[in-house]
Chain A
Amino acid sequence: MADNLLDAIQLRKEFGGLVASNNVDFAIPRGSIVSLIGPNGAGKTTFFNMLTGVYKPTAGRILFDGEDITGKPPHAITERGIGRTFQNIRLFPLMTAVENVLVGMNCRLRGGIIGAIIRPPRVRREEKLARERARELLAYSGLPTRHTELARSLPYGDQRRLEVARALATEPKLLLLDEPTAGMNPQETADFIGFVSRLPDDRGLTVLLIEHDMKVVMGVSDRVTVLEYGEKIAEGTPGEVQRNERVIEAYLGKGATE
């Protein structure tokens, strides 16, 4: 694990008797784009939820940037530098786009309750800078206007972009994207994948993509890991994975049932 930003070691999660993640080993090299794929119900989201602290693993450890973050609460993990989006968009619907992004900055800002009421120059300055930065992030994520609209009144594609901007606002080292292209048309998907591929160079980010559609990630990923029924069945470069027999089987099986 020479220069891995994240190492998951023998990660296991059981729900009652059901094993949703069966001792999975998983690593994300710094500065890379890694994808976690697998058919629906393969345990991708469970795995994701363990990394982000939503679930506590039954067993195993997660090391992030040299620190053990196993079982830490979500906000503590975010504070350490893991930002995320949600598969089924989860914005704060009655807040504006800018405010959504500002919530993402929550753990990078310092203003407390007394500061909020008295509003000394220090807090004013912090707020002003934060708002400017929020607008930059929105523009960077492909949302140059409509910053003061409520999140719920934005069109679907813009909501996705807003979610990414919000995740970037947490100043992550590692960005987790959970099926970010779900519901996008082919053109939007291509644009989005282009955007993701620039993130490591632009902002020094490492990216973990979760997808059930293999085709989406093949172009951008440095490495691909395939899950099925909570087990890791293959790992390697996109080319290697595509030729892997178990992967083909898993996906053909899936194709037959869909």
Chain B
Amino acid sequence: MLALWLLINLVKDPTEFFSVAVIGLTNGSVYALIALGYTLVYGILQLINFAHGDVFSLGGLLSATVILDAFDLTAASSAVAIVIGVAVSLLIAVAFSSALNTTVELVGYRRLRNAPRLAPLITAVGMSFILQNVGLYFWGPNYTSTDNLIPNSAAFSIGGVDFQWDNLVVILLTMPLLLALTWLVTSTRQGKAMRATSQDPEAAAMMGINVNRTISFTFALAGGLAGAAGLLYVLQFTTIRFDQGFQLGLIAFTAAVLGGIGNLAGAVLGAVIIGLIEAFNEGLEWHAAGSDWTRSIVFGLLIAILVFRPEGLLGERTPEGA
């Protein structure tokens, strides 16, 4: 059914189809960065960090402010100024969001590590609301908007499908981040400590791994990715609001679950799929449900995965089940 619908749309208007796919891929990249944060934290603490989406939106809001107030960038600024400005705001957003996410863990979750499982989960929901209101306090209830810094014009086009600069930049910035993350988790000492802790914190502690520091590091890493996602979101959409993180966070979480929670490659795959689903639903002409229904579709998918294949696309079935 789904495949058929996509195929008909493809045949009817291939240019539109691929243009929409590029948008989906771009959104998927941003989701991937957020989804990775969920998956990293879930992998190590088995905690759904509901506040993660709000770390993302605060990172985005801050980078928008840096772009607007510190660098005063507009669409008319020179390319050099834009590159430097964006690079600096990226660094600031990443540093801020890492610090914020680590603080959230330190203040909110650390004390509850041995509490019943529901306790940190409920705390995470509360944290999310606190962070949203921090955003509301400093940035107000309206959208914070920047100029369109990266032109919407086509960088190149293949067979009538335009690859716009803004999409391209987002994808090109995401790729190295993903590669760096993979390298970090698989090849560094800190990454090995993370994997060991996620498998068995007690055993890891006995092997001389500083579990608290490893968990803090994981939150810092996840927060950093969320901050980067915040900046990319601002570049792509030019507006952001205090309460957008929760929604986007849930969508990203869906992506993480779809791919198999705890699985890094899965999070990326899931994010791309969700990005495409969303773009197709909103962008295609022929019989798409439209943006009014996007959330229902994404959450419907989430429910379906959890009920029918809780281990996700790339996850492994655990021996003892749920």
Report which A residues bind B (CB closer than 8 A): 15-16, 55
B89 CB to closest chain A CB (Å) equals 46
Ordered by A's residue number, 4 sampled pairs between the chains whose C-beta atoms are within 8 Å are: A15-B319, A15-B320, A16-B319, A55-B320
Q: How far is the CA of A55 from the CA of B319 in the complex (A)?
A: 9
User: Chain B's interface: helix, strand, loop or mixed, by majority?
Assistant: loop
Q: How far is the CA of A18 from the CA of B319 in the complex (A)?
A: 10
Q: Which residue of B lies closest to A16 (CB)?
A: B319
Q: How far is the CA of A55 from the CA of B320 in the complex (A)?
A: 7
Q: How far is the CA of A55 from the CA of B322 in the complex (A)?
A: 11
Q: How far is the CA of A16 from the CA of B320 in the complex (A)?
A: 10
Q: Which residue of B lies closest to A13 (CB)?
A: B319
Q: How far is the CA of A16 from the CA of B319 in the complex (A)?
A: 7
Report which B residues bind A (CB closer than 8 A): 319-320
Q: How far is the CA of A55 from the CA of B321 in the complex (A)?
A: 9
Q: How far is the CA of A234 from the CA of B230 in the complex (A)?
A: 64
B287 CB to closest chain A CB (Å) equals 43
Contacts of A55 in B (CB 8 A): 320
Question: Which 4 interchain pairs have the tightest Cβ spacing?
Answer: A15-B319, A16-B319, A55-B320, A15-B320
A93 CB to closest chain B CB (Å) equals 10
Q: Which residue of B lies closest to A54 (CB)?
A: B320
Contacts of B320 in A (CB 8 A): 15, 55
Q: How far is the CA of A15 from the CA of B319 in the complex (A)?
A: 6
Contacts of A16 in B (CB 8 A): 319
Contacts of B319 in A (CB 8 A): 15-16
Q: How far is the CA of A37 from the CA of B202 in the complex (A)?
A: 27
B233 CB to closest chain A CB (Å) equals 40
Q: How far is the CA of A15 from the CA of B321 in the complex (A)?
A: 11
Q: How far is the CA of A15 from the CA of B320 in the complex (A)?
A: 8
Q: Which residue of A lies closest to B319 (CB)?
A: A15
B98 CB to closest chain A CB (Å) equals 36
Q: Which residue of A lies closest to B317 (CB)?
A: A16
B202 CB to closest chain A CB (Å) equals 14
Q: Which residue of B lies closest to A18 (CB)?
A: B319
A107 CB to closest chain B CB (Å) equals 23
Q: How far is the CA of A245 from the CA of B72 in the complex (A)?
A: 85
B207 CB to closest chain A CB (Å) equals 19
Q: Which residue of B lies closest to A15 (CB)?
A: B319
A76 CB to closest chain B CB (Å) equals 17
Q: How far is the CA of A16 from the CA of B316 in the complex (A)?
A: 11
A20 CB to closest chain B CB (Å) equals 9
Q: Which residue of A lies closest to B316 (CB)?
A: A16
Q: How far is the CA of A62 from the CA of B135 in the complex (A)?
A: 59
Contacts of A15 in B (CB 8 A): 319-320
B198 CB to closest chain A CB (Å) equals 17
B119 CB to closest chain A CB (Å) equals 14
A151 CB to closest chain B CB (Å) equals 15
Q: Which residue of A lies closest to B320 (CB)?
A: A55
A121 CB to closest chain B CB (Å) equals 38
B93 CB to closest chain A CB (Å) equals 41
Q: How far is the CA of A74 from the CA of B320 in the complex (A)?
A: 14
B277 CB to closest chain A CB (Å) equals 33
Q: Which residue of B lies closest to A20 (CB)?
A: B319
Q: How far is the CA of A25 from the CA of B319 in the complex (A)?
A: 23
A19 CB to closest chain B CB (Å) equals 12
B159 CB to closest chain A CB (Å) equals 47
